[in-house]
Every structure is written in C-alpha cells, then in structure tokens.
Structure 1
Amino acid sequence: MLDLIGTLVRIGLAAVWLVSGWLKISDAGQTFIAVKAYELLPDGLISPVATMLPLLELVLGIMLLAGFGTRLAGIGSIVLLLLLIAVIAQSWARGLTIDCGCFGGGGQVAAGQTQYPQEIARDTGFLLLAVWLTLRPSTLASVDGWLGWNSKAVPDDSSGETASSERT
C-alpha cells in the first residue's frame, strides 16, 4: 500500500515540475521578467537563472515520472522548494507586489493582487511530497525498482541469514 501511495506522490510531484518547467520554458521572456521582479539577483545572473530554473524543473519532473533516481530527485525537489518558499517569503516581507511566476507568468501585479500565503502553502504541500519521496523512494513501476535500487537486506525467516527483498 505504501508503494502505491509513493507512486501517486511521485507522479503528482512529477506533474508539478513538468507543468511548471514547460510553462516557463515556453515563455522565456516572461520567465526573465518573473525572475527580475524578485529584485534579488544582479542583472548578469537574471538570464542564466531564468534559463536554468525551467530546465531543472523539467529534469526533476522527468526523473520522477520515470522513477529514476527518485531519492535524488526528492532531495533536489526539497532544495528547490525551500529556495522558492524563501524567495516568495522575502518578497512578501519586503512588500513587493509580484506574482511568483511559479507556473508561468510572473512579474509586477497591482497592489492587493499578491497571493503569497497561498503560494507558500501550495509549495509547502509540494515540499511534503518531496520529503516523502526522499524518506521512502520505493514506488511501483519505476526504473529504480527495475534496476534493483529499491532493494534492501531483510532477515530470512528460516535461517536467520539475510536475503534481498525488492520493493518496487
């Protein structure tokens, strides 16, 4: 049952990264505007970050969709989500009026149009999914399982020796 839950978590988080990355990469100009709106980076770093962020999201999404390096993708997701939550929180604390650009768009919005609490709550939910996959990467229909990366030694009931048990 836990493997089934993990599979749903893995596919759900994969969908988040794939949609987010695709929307950003398909409108690179708007992604540049969204990154710039945070007013955190020097001008020379805005373009590289606006280019690399959607690529990283797509890589994480593909890894999770395939179930390849699930724990590593979970750790990468945790790091990225903590960074995104911190960036959104600092924008809120500084009184910036921007849309996070998390799923495309982004940039300046009218006063009162920000949704910082909702964005932080949503990303915290995604963070919990990533934590699950980091702590328990075993899922169904995964490349990790097919490669035997989800196996662990368990005691063999008859002899007390260990046997390999695969959880896919």
Structure 2
Amino acid sequence: MEIGQTARATQVWPWISTVARLGLAAVWLIAGGLKVGDLAASGRAVNAYQIFPYEGAKVIGAAQPFLEIALGLLLLAGLAVRLSAGISAALLVIFIAGIVSAWVRGLQIDCGCFSTGGALGAGAEPAYGLDIARDLGFLALAGILLWRPRTRFSIDGILMGDDQ
C-alpha cells in the first residue's frame, strides 16, 4: 500500500466505524425499546426457545431489554466502544445459537428480536434463515468496531484527544 493509500485508509476507517457504531446503536435501541414496555412478553419470548426453566426465562427476558438499551446508549455516545462491541458480539452469537437451536428442534416461534416473539400462529412459518442472516450482519458491525473502535463524534474520541 502506498503512502497516499495508507493516509486515505486512516481517514476513511473512522467514518466506516462511525456508521457501524451508529447502526449497531440503532439496532439495540430499537430492539430494547420495543420490548421494554412489556417485560412479561419478553420473558415469554425467551421461554419459547425452551432452553431455560420458566423462571430463568422470565428473568432473562426482563433483563434483556435493559441490556440492549444500555448497549445502544453506550454505542450512540461512543463510550467504551470496543467493550460495547464485544458484549454486542457475544450477545449476537448467543442469539444466533438460540435461533439455530429452535430451527434444528423444529420449534415454530418468532425469534422475538424486534417483537414480543413467542409461538407463531397457525399457518405462519418461521423466518429463521433471514433472522440468522440479519444477526450475522449485526455481528459484522460489531466486528468492525472490535477491529477499529475509533469513531468520529464519540466520547472515547474526546477522551483520547483524537475526535474530529
């Protein structure tokens, strides 16, 4: 890579990472915001996966929207970007594993990622392949931030003295 290309890449990556950060922030804020109003439904959505005992699913379902909103706010502000991206990546891997598990076991459920989830109505088909592909896209955003966490217009950038 020539010096001009290196300088260009140095200037472009913070913008790419900024788009990834804001995109992932939007994902978490929307997902958490849609669930936080009905924590019981969120618990039922987790329970639909039939992985945890009902009481455990209720606790996970009640905590999940708050974790998603917290991650969204941290990413929106650009605070602890690499840590937030790492937690995001771990959650997304867990979500993908849960969807794969439901698919393999023949469960007929809505993933609950952007809804209250739960059992599908008669005649409705799950969209597990699309859900997994979508979450892999979100995982790619988290991967960009793990690799290149420096972004524009972020608290991290201000604290490190390199925000422009």
With normalisation by structure 1, the TM-score equals 0.87
Counterpart in the other structure of 1:127? 139
Counterpart in the other structure of 1:100? 111
Tell me the SS of whatever aligns to 1:68: coil
Structure 1 residue 20, shift from structure 2 partner: 0.1
User: Could you tell me whether the CA contact under 8 Å between 1:74 and 1:134 is conserved in 2?
Assistant: yes
Separation in structure 1 between the aligned mates of residue 124 and residue 78 of structure 2, nearest angstrom: 41
More strand by share: 1
Q: Once superposed, which parts of structure 1, at least 4 consecutive aligned residues long, lie more than 4 Å away?
A: none
Counterpart in the other structure of 2:102? 91
Separation in structure 1 between the aligned mates of residue 43 and residue 163 of structure 2, nearest angstrom: 42
Higher Rg of the two aligned structures: 1
Provide the aligned C-alpha RMSD in A: 1.3
Among candidates 140, 144, 147, match of residue 159 of structure 2: 147
Counterpart in the other structure of 1:116? 128
Deviations 1:106-136 (A, max 9, x none): 0001355100000000000000000000110
Shifted more, 66-75 versus 22-31: the winner is 22-31
Letter in 1 for 2:127: Q
Structure 2 segments unaligned to the other structure (5+ residues): 1-11
More helix by share: 2
Among candidates 20, 28, 34, match of residue 45 of structure 2: 34
Counterpart in the other structure of 1:48? 59
Tell me the SS of whatever aligns to 1:88: helix
Q: Percent identity?
A: 44
With normalisation by structure 2, the TM-score equals 0.89
Separation in structure 1 between the aligned mates of residue 163 and residue 149 of structure 2, nearest angstrom: 10
